[in-house]
């Protein structure tokens, strides 16, 4: 038995060394460097005390929350629909909805430009119909659109997997007792999907808070935290501030995901 334990430790060693050397130590270093700038350890409070940083924190949280809510609504409706109704073409629709799953943020940004950019489809249509060209790709609205585009494929898969496990008998029972479709959705389907909504929503939120590629493609002056960190690091060469801000950003996303995991887990346990 002792020999087996030794063997298991040996097997864990390569990943352990790699992870310690290239993640744990660098993260600790990042934390220390964050406190080594002109302002010292108060750099970590700057995200709350400095008006500019605080505003971009608020903007980041706002766009991430909006993305999460809209994505959950879209994926909830389409995911449950596609899971419940199997019709010819269903598989093709699922394939299309999950196709952009592996697009990197930069490509997502380009997709937004194709839709809402200067030469985009929305601009052409609105120019044709009203004479005014609507272009919103290079702003917060464009970023929001990109994050929804990015999040729908992931979320819809989670919702479909959860909807498959819902018991249709519960809905039938509710309906036979006279519940309207709205009530069935509110009292049966949404509570049943709650764990999936929490975990998918948390991933949605965390990715939108930390994503960088989409904002980078659309416009460097979009005022969200990842862009601020990037500007501090490259243009201002303020490495300490960039380190402090990115450490805080990392901590925020990690905590959101951890809380959601606990919440989703306990709901599952309660339901079971």
Burial (CB count <10 Å: 0-12, 13-18, 19+), residue 133: middle
x/- mask, other proteins, residues 154-193, rule CB under 8 A, reads ---------------------------x------------
The span from the CA of 261 to the CA of 272, in Å, is 16
Report, in Å, the least distance between residue 32 CB and other proteins: 9
The span from the CA of 165 to the CA of 196, in Å, is 11
- Please give the angle made by the CA atoms of 114, 117 and 119, to the nearest 5 degrees: 75
The span from the CA of 224 to the CA of 229, in Å, is 9
146 to 14, 36, 101, 243, 248: CA distances (angstroms): 38, 36, 13, 26, 24
Residue 141 lies near other proteins (rule: CB under 8 A): no
Tell me the two tokens of residue 193: 């999907």
In the chain, which ranges are continuous DSSP H helix?
Answer: 2-19, 25-34, 46-49, 51-84, 90-98, 105-116, 121-130, 140-165, 168-176, 181-184, 190-210, 213-218, 225-234, 239-271
Residue 250 lies near other proteins (rule: CB under 8 A): yes
The span from the CA of 118 to the CA of 134, in Å, is 9
Among the listed residues 228, 167, 166, 234, the one whose alpha carbon sits nearest the alpha carbon of residue 197: 166
Q: Which is nearer to other proteins, 66 or 257 (CB)?
A: 257
Q: Which of these ranges, 38-46, 48-56, 145-153, 186-194, lies near other proteins under the rule CB under 8 A?
A: 145-153
Selected from 1, 2, 15, 130, the binder of other proteins by CB under 8 A is 15
Selected from 66, 134, 179, 239, the binder of other proteins by CB under 8 A is 239
- Interface residues for other proteins in 69-108 (CB under 8 A)? 74, 77-78, 81-82, 85-88, 90-91, 93-107
x/- mask, other proteins, residues 194-213, rule CB under 8 A, reads ------------x--xxxxx
Selected from 6, 11, 48, 173, the binder of other proteins by CB under 8 A is 11
Q: How many residues bind other proteins, per CB under 8 A? A: 78
Residue 259 lies near other proteins (rule: CB under 8 A): no
Residue 46 lies near other proteins (rule: CB under 8 A): no
Q: Which is nearer to other proteins, 62 or 91 (CB)?
A: 91
Residue 7 lies near other proteins (rule: CB under 8 A): yes
Report, in Å, the least distance between residue 34 CB and other proteins: 9
The span from the CA of 181 to the CA of 115, in Å, is 35
Q: Which of these ranges, 13-21, 44-52, 128-136, 190-198, lies near other proteins under the rule CB under 8 A?
A: 13-21
Rounded to a whole number of angstroms, the distance between the first and last alpha carbons of the chain is: 36
The span from the CA of 192 to the CA of 268, in Å, is 9
Report, in Å, the least distance between residue 167 CB and other proteins: 16
Q: Which is nearer to other proteins, 14 or 178 (CB)?
A: 14
- Interface residues for other proteins in 16-35 (CB under 8 A)? 18-19, 22-27, 29-30, 33
């Amino acid at each position: 038995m002792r020999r087996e334990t030794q063997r298991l430790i040996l097997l864990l060693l390569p990943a352990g060394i790699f992870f310690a050397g290239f993640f744990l130590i660098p993260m600790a270093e990042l934390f220390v460097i964050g406190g080594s700038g002109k302002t010292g350890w108060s750099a970590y409070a700057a995200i709350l005390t400095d008006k500019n940083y605080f505003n971009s924190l608020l903007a980041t949280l706002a766009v991430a929350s909006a993305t999460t809510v809209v994505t959950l609504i879209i994926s909830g409706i389409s995911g449950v629909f596609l899971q419940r109704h199997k019709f010819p073409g269903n598989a093709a629709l699922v394939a299309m909805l999950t196709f952009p799953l592996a697009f990197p943020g930069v490509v997502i940004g380009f997709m937004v430009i194709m839709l809402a950019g200067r030469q985009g489809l929305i601009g052409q249509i609105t120019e044709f119909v009203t004479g005014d060209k609507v272009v919103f790709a290079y702003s917060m609205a464009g970023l929001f659109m990109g994050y929804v585009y990015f999040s729908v494929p992931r979320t819809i898969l989670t919702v479909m997997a959860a909807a498959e496990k819902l018991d249709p008998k519960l809905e039938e029972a509710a309906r036979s007792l006279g519940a309207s479709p709205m009530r069935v959705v509110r009292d049966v389907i949404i509570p049943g999907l709650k764990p999936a909504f929490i975990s998918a929503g948390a991933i949605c939120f965390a990715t939108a808070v930390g994503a960088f590629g989409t904002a980078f493609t659309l416009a460097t002056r979009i005022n969200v935290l990842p862009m601020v960190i990037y500007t501090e690091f490259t243009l201002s060469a303020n490495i300490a501030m960039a380190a402090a801000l990115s450490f805080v950003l990392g901590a925020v996303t990690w905590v959101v995901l951890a809380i959601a995991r606990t919440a989703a887990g306990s709901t599952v346990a309660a339901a079971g």
